[in-house]
Amino acid sequence: MVIIIARISAKTETLAELRQILKDLVAPSRAEAGCISYELFQDNDDPRDFITVENWGDSAAANAHLATPHVAAAIAQAGVLLAQPPLIHRFTQLA
Amino acid sequence: MVIIIARISAKTETLAELRQILKDLVAPSRAEAGCISYELFQDNDDPRDFITVENWGDSAAANAHLATPHVAAAIAQAGVLLAQPPLIHRFTQLA
């Protein structure tokens, strides 16, 4: 399994717009053949911070996700809305 | 639901010991009445970095978890093994 955990931070004035883009990305991502799970979270103390926790099964599926049209469209839309570049890391589940 | 996502960072020389403490915390945490899920991940590119993604159902269950003997013991053991204080945030699941 390859787990991707991504932290995506909005600016105060772009929070609502970025939130919608991230929510719209969930359904097409879950519909990908390699998607085992894909969850979106918002920080209770700082609602400008979002985290996705994604299980892609293997590296090929994770790489395929990043090359999909819906991810490309989200990146194109979200770029100017971000407070900083997304922090995207790959993880291995220990338990 | 209350989601806790925690980032815990070891020093290079304490990685193996901290990894075991974090693994040992999984089973008793999952056995708590309020635990919906509790998962432990290790960063593929920097194995000193660990993340837990925990679903506690509600704030009362999340608070009860932090007050358990197994969490207190882990904190006591892990303190000197950490590269920096843990980053612990509470989240709401959007999707």
For A19-63, write each residue's pLDDT tens digit: 999 999 999 999 999 999 999 999 999 999 999 999 999 999 999
- pLDDT of amino acid A26: 98
User: Which pLDDT tens digit goes with each residue over B14-45?
Assistant: 999 999 999 999 999 999 999 999 999 999 99
Q: What is the mean pLDDT of residues A61-84?
A: 96
The residue ranges of every structural domain in chain A are 3-91
Length of chain B: 95
DSSP state of A84: S
Q: Is B58 on the interface with A (CB under 8 A)?
A: no
- pLDDT of amino acid B38: 98
Contact residues on chain A for B44, CB-CB shorter than 8 A: 2, 89-92
* Terminal Cα distance for chain B, rounded: 12
The C-alpha atoms of residue A66 and residue A1 are separated, in whole angstroms, by 16
What CATH number is given for B3-91 in this structure? Answer: 3.30.70.100
The C-alpha atoms of residue A45 and residue A61 are separated, in whole angstroms, by 33
Helix axes B15-30, B69-78, angle to 10 degrees: 170
Query: How many CB atoms are closer than 10 A to CB B61?
Result: 18
Decide: A34 and A64 in contact? Cβ < 8 Å. yes
The C-alpha atoms of residue A17 and residue B43 are separated, in whole angstroms, by 30
Of A26, A50, A94, the CB nearest to B23: A94
* Percent of chain A's residues with pLDDT above 90: 100
Phi, psi angle pair for A86, to nearest 5°: -60, 145
- pLDDT of amino acid A19: 98
pLDDT band per the 50, 70, 90 thresholds, residue B62: very high
Query: Per the structure block, which two tokens stand in for A25?
Result: 């990305």
Contact residues on chain A for B42, CB-CB shorter than 8 A: 91-92, 94
Contact residues on chain A for B63, CB-CB shorter than 8 A: none
* Percent of chain B's residues with pLDDT above 70: 100
Decide: B42 and B19 in contact? Cβ < 8 Å. yes
Could you list the beta-strand ranges (E) of chain B: 3-9, 37-43, 49-55, 87-93
Predicted interface score ipTM higher than 0.90: yes
Q: What is the mean pLDDT of residues A67-75?
A: 96
Of B5, B26, B49, the CB nearest to A51: B5
